[in-house]
Structure 1
Amino acid sequence: MTNHDEAGAVRPLTLAWVHRHLETGEQVVRTEVLHGGITAEMRRLTVGTRDGATRDLVLRSFVDPFYVERAEDGLNREAGALTLLTGTGVPAPGLVAVDPTAAQCEYPSLLMTHLAGRTVLGDEGVETRVPLLARQLVAIHALRPAERPREYVALTTADTVVVPKGADAAAWAAAIDVIREPAPPYEGRFLHRDFQPGNVLFDVPPSRSAGARITGVVDWAAASWGPADLDVAHCSVNLALLHGPAWGLRFAEAYEEAGGVLAAATGERLYWQVRDALAASEEVRWVAQAWRRAGRPELTTRAVEERLDAYVTAVMDALG
């Protein structure tokens, strides 16, 4: 009999679907809600094996109507990415099963293996984690899949940017003008497209950050093909909002120090850095809410807006 509390309960049809993809004699014996996700419900499922041992799986289900409408494409892309990543050395989950149209589950769902480690969003040890993040992203960009994923999708336009209250109006106007221009040419790379601390798992030993290592990279639903600069820009803005603008600027340096190659022209680098920084303006409230739930109560919407303003201004000063 499945042992779980009400909050962690898996819906009946979905649970039956999960059981169909387990080994003979296995059953789900415990479920646990995993916090921190913005677009989907995440649960860890502990599976009892025939010899009395246990193993863990992760269930990802899209339940919000807004995301349910978009789930089929994302889940198919994630399933494809997880299949592609098998055996590459990139520490990604293994695909167990996917139901992108909720044909057998209550909601569109994906079942995958569970990876050890945890997300680390606190300020302590960030100087150690940033080079690790950079090296991991370089490894992802080095992949050359036999079949390319879909071209990247821009996450904002000049007309949808939300300028924070009290922001540096001149800097933001100049930044918005940058992305009114056509995208510069680029050499395509395999992109995670949401590579940031919330999607990276670490093993951090008791001696705090000394000896920390990455154990997993999760959430591959936006995997695509595009410029390395775009993945770097996305991680940069997340680091800036979590830890301060200086860490956003530092990440691009760390990426190059790890052997990554960014656009040669300053103007091209500026375009990609600004594009993803401005995209963050449309999601500040949701991102801040997720980070507060994950243990950063000081990251109010207003605090994150202020950091985003400072980061956009810093990028324009550095590259503009």
Structure 2
Amino acid sequence: MITSDSKDQLSDRMLQWVIDAVHPQAVVRSIQRLHGGMSSIMHSIVLHVNDDELKVVLRQVDNAEWLQEEPDLALHEAESLRLVAQTAVPTPRILAYDVTGDSCGIPAVLMTQLAGTVVLRPPSMESWIDGLAETLAQIHKVEADHFTWTYFTYQDLSTFESPSWSTYTECWDKVVALVKGPQPKAKPSLIHRDYHPANVVWKDGKASGVVDWVNACRGPAGIDVGHCRVDLAQLYDVETADAFLKAYMKYAGPSFQYEPYWDLLSLVDILFGQPTVYAGWAAFGVNGLTDALMAERLDNYMLSLLSK
């Protein structure tokens, strides 16, 4: 049954698909647009089933370019959630998915909603970094030998050139030469592929889960570590990125051998044009950052990696 005053945010066809996936007698009570996601339309939906309340998240994949590159995105996230259910990390439970949009009008994924909120200004940076690192190390314990999706770079490394916005041209030339060189050997595991603070939720001061599994794949753990580090370097500074690496290595133990190559590759892999402030941060209360500051912090991070 559809009784929500907010039902105009979603089509009746879409809401009926949600209800059918949850329970025939489910009643939609509220719908809220979720902010922070940059490549999909996300909604939180509260349903009542008999005397119980269920909160779910609906992802609508409306990015035509992304769908052209990966037409099975909905299946990808569904299978990722099934695999990651093996971890000790709380993750959404898959409820339904529509790969082609035939059922609900657009490719979509329906999953349970995790308790907690994104925290980007923690009261204790040390414990927050520790929680980020411990959570990622738990994810990497999952073997993904038979997982269909495998890691690939977003950049075409064969044509990548030093960024024109930086004055450290010679240093960037060294980075480009290194990432175009041989890759270190690394035992593949399950990787999130987009692990950063805005995809981790917290409750009562502890990490309560990880969201946004649409890019998960089989690949080197260093890619997840590197992606999170470059995000932390932009959001805060090099010292925070280094503190995260130190904490991750503590939890990963001897199974993880640090290779600066993966940090360099993760850095290069986000460089599409002039650096800009990630729009999702503002939704979680981070303001005052500028594009110029992002460029400066990326340069500083790059220089720190070359010194390792």
TM-score, structure 1 normalization:
0.88
Letter in 1 for 2:105: E
Mapped partners of 2:10, 2:41: distance in 1: 10
Alignment of 1:259-274 (within 5 A): 259-261=252-254, 264=257, 269-274=259-264
Work out whether 1:55 is the aligned partner of 2:54. yes
Q: Larger deviation: 242-251 or 291-300?
A: 291-300
Work out whether 1:2 is the aligned partner of 2:3. yes
Kindly tell me: are residues 281 and 30 of structure 1, through their superposed partners in 2, closer, same or farther at Cα, counting changes over 3 Å?
Answer: same
Letter in 1 for 2:212: D
Work out whether 1:316 is the aligned partner of 2:306. yes
Aligned to 1:196: 196
Alignment of 1:133-282 (within 5 A): 133-145=132-144, 147-158=146-157, 159-160=159-160, 163=163, 165-203=165-203, 205=204, 212-261=205-254, 264=257, 269-282=259-272
SS in 2 for 1:88: coil
- Amino-acid identity (%): 28
CA RMSD, Structure 1 to Structure 2 (Å): 2.2
Letter in 1 for 2:3: T
TM-score, structure 2 normalization:
0.91
CA contact (8 A) 2:276 2:290 kept: no
Kindly tell me: are residues 18 and 118 of structure 1, through their superposed partners in 2, closer, same or farther at Cα, counting changes over 3 Å?
Answer: same
Letter in 1 for 2:191: L
Deviations 1:8-53 (A, max 9, x none): 71123211211211213112111001100011111100002212x4
Mapped partners of 2:27, 2:116: distance in 1: 24
Mapped partners of 2:21, 2:128: distance in 1: 36
Aligned to 2:76: 77
Using the TM superposition, give the Cα deviation of residue 316 of structure 1 relative to its aligned residue in structure 2, in angstroms: 1.0
Letter in 2 for 1:245: V
Q: Larger deviation: 170-179 or 116-125?
A: 116-125
Work out whether 1:93 is the aligned partner of 2:92. yes
Deviations 1:61-99 (A, max 9, x none): 112322333453332121111112335322110000000
Give the unaligned 5+ runs of structure 2: none
Kindly tell me: are residues 283 and 5 of structure 1, through their superposed partners in 2, closer, same or farther at Cα, counting changes over 3 Å?
Answer: farther
Using the TM superposition, give the Cα deviation of residue 239 of structure 1 relative to its aligned residue in structure 2, in angstroms: 1.0
Give the unaligned 5+ runs of structure 1: 206-211
Deviations 1:181-215 (A, max 9, x none): 13222111111111110111011x4xxxxxx1111
Aligned to 2:18: 18
